[in-house]
Structures are given as C-alpha cells and as structure tokens.
Amino acid sequence: MIRKQKEYEKARQLRQSGMRIDDIAKEVGATHGTICIWCKDIKLITPNRKPRAKCRVCGKSASGHQLCHKHLCRFKKYGTTELPKKETKYCEVAGCVNPARQKGLCNMHRLRLRDFGDVGISQPKKNKKGQGHISASTGYRYFYRPSHPNAGKNGTVAEHIVVMSEVLGRALLPKETVHHKNGVKLDNRPENLELWSIAHPTGQRVVDMVAFCHTYLLEHKKEYTQWLAEH
C-alpha cells in the first residue's frame, strides 16, 4: 500500500512537470490507464504554446495558408476561396431560350427527340382553343371539361366518350367503353364508334342470366326502346 502511494505521488509529480502519460507509465511501472486515472485532474500549463491559426475566411481552424480545409481546397482548385458562378447552358435549338438539361437540349426538345425522332420547332406546340390535346401514352384526344359526368380527377375527358355520351343523351356507365371500328383513335365520328359493355353475369344458371338481362335492360331502357321500334 505504501508502495502504491509512492508511485501515485511520483506519477502526479511527473505529470505536473509536463511528462507524457506513456513515459510516466514506463518510469513508474504502471499501466497507461492507471496513470490516466491518477492524473486526470491535472491540467498542463504551456505558456509558450502558440494559439492555433484560424481561417481568414470563416474563422475555423486553419490547415494551411491561413485557410481551413474547405477553403484551401477551393483555393487550390479555382485560385480563389469563392466558388465560381456556374455558366447557364441553353438549348442548342435555334431560338429556344430554355436551359439545357441533357445532351445540349432542354427538356421539351429532349422529349420530342426521344418520342418523335425530331426536335421540331423552337416554340412549344400549342393546339388552338377547343382542339384539346392528344395523349402520348394512350393516343386519344382529351378535352378539359371538369363539369362532364365522365371527366377524370384532373377534369379531362376523352373525345370519343364525349361524342358517345352526346349520341346516347346520357353519361356512360362505369362498365361501358367506346370502341373505334376502324382502329383509328382520333376518328371520333359517331358512325365509327360502338358502345361496348364489359358487364356479365357471375354464373350461367338460367335464373342468373334472366336477372342479369332484366337489370341490363333497365339500365339501357332508351337503347332497348329504340331497338324495339326498329325491329
């Protein structure tokens, strides 16, 4: 116990004199952790130590040339501590003032080149008022008519649905679709459109078939009456 006390006092004296922890451990014959515990409350005073340099731009610790690591890297790369302003590149199509996004083209001309193989004119292609727009994904022509019963959440409705609803004098039911006879999606003449139904009974029993037919005729009473008059 007396020996431990002597080692403890010697270690503290050596630490107060400024000796390193590892050197004290070798001198006293104790472990590094033990010396740290014995001397943890001793704060070394180094009056001749120079304060660490600060970055002249942001005030953080300097790495070199009185600059922190971030501003030093900028200085080496650009010759200045400020980031150079990025030059805005514009679309290569003559007359287009939109910034380039990819392959030297703006987003509008890039999509035209991808979908149609040609960038087209410099200005956006706008349809005349009342002509609607043709969807690139479906190929149908759509109108913005939010008050139409068959309009979607975005307020648009396909032209063939509008034409068929006008012919029927009512809105289309959820299970009804419109078919183009000649397969041309933009040919929406009434004589080129057919009303199709995807509704069908769940079984083939006579009772089920009769119930289905009865419900179907009630839903299409106007068409059924017209058919009876013609036949």
Quick check: 101 pLDDT over 60? yes
8 A C-beta contact, residue 21 and residue 32? yes
DSSP secondary structure letters along 55-85: -TTT-SBPSBTTB-HHHHHHHHHHSSSSPPP
Quick check: 144 pLDDT over 80? yes
pTM value? 0.41
131 band by pLDDT with thresholds 50, 70 and 90: confident
Highest mean pLDDT: which of 44-53, 79-88, 202-211? 79-88
Buried b (16+ CB within 10 A) or exposed e, 177-214: ebebeeeebeebeeeebebeeeeeeeeeeeeeeeeeee
Alpha helical stretches, state H, 86-186: 107-116, 159-168
In this structure, of 24-33, 52-61, 116-125, the range with the lowest mean pLDDT score is 116-125
Residues facing residue 196 across a β-bridge: 177
Residues whose CB is less than 8 angstroms from the CB of residue 223 and which lie 6 or more positions away in sequence, other chains included: 168
Segment holding 205, helix H or strand E: none
150 band by pLDDT with thresholds 50, 70 and 90: very high
Q: What percent of the chain has pLDDT over 70?
A: 90
Return the closest-CA partner of residue 161 out of 147, 183, 176, 181: 176
Instruction: Note the pLDDT of residue 126.
Output: 62
Torsion angles phi and psi, residue 126, rounded to 5: -115, 130
Instruction: Note the pLDDT of residue 167.
Output: 92
Average model confidence (pLDDT) across the chain: 84
- Tell me how long the chain is: 231
49 band by pLDDT with thresholds 50, 70 and 90: low
Instruction: Note the pLDDT of residue 73.
Output: 92
Give CA–CA dist 20/25, Å, rounded: 9
- 156-198, pLDDT tens digit by residue? 999 999 999 999 999 999 888 898 888 888 889 998 898 888 7
205 band by pLDDT with thresholds 50, 70 and 90: low
Quick check: 146 pLDDT over 60? yes
48 band by pLDDT with thresholds 50, 70 and 90: low
Bigger pLDDT: 35 vs 116: 35
